Amino acid sequence: MFGYVTASWKELTAQEQKRYGAVYCGICREIRQRSTGIGRICLSYDMAFLALLLMSLYEPEEESGKKACRLHSVKPRPWVDNECIRYAADMNVALGYYNCLDDWQDDGKRSAKFLADKLEPFLPE
């Protein structure tokens, strides 16, 4: 069950939406740095939620900023980075890899096998 967690945007305040978006962008940014971008295909809100949960428990020091990316090239978006973001990025790649393997083994999807092969070198140790 990967990819089922989503935020209820209508229930979040503007500040909470900004924070959630910054965490999501931080994870995406970290995945790009760690897996040359291929891992971003599997990016999910599940890991943004995990990162927010861990950040509320451990309160790590953060680095933050604003930057444009290929997907959002016109308007720079806020991002945050810390240990919890890096952990969530690693777990996102790992869960994406195993989700693809599951799709390959259960349904015989060749695209899933191809993506799993591309993600395998970037699995966390």
Assess contact for 3 and 46: CB atoms under 8 A: yes
Looking at residues 36-57, what average pLDDT do you find?
94
**1 has pLDDT over 70:** no
Domain-wise residue ranges, the chain: 14-122
Looking at residues 110-118, what average pLDDT do you find?
97
Residues 59-78: tens digit of each pLDDT: 999 999 999 988 888 999 99
Global pTM value: 0.92
Rounded alpha-carbon distances, angstroms, from residue 46 to 30, 70, 97: 15, 22, 15
What does the mean pLDDT of the chain come to? Answer: 94
For residues 35-51, b (16+ Cβ closer than 10 Å) or e, as one string?
Answer: beebbbebbbbbbbbbb
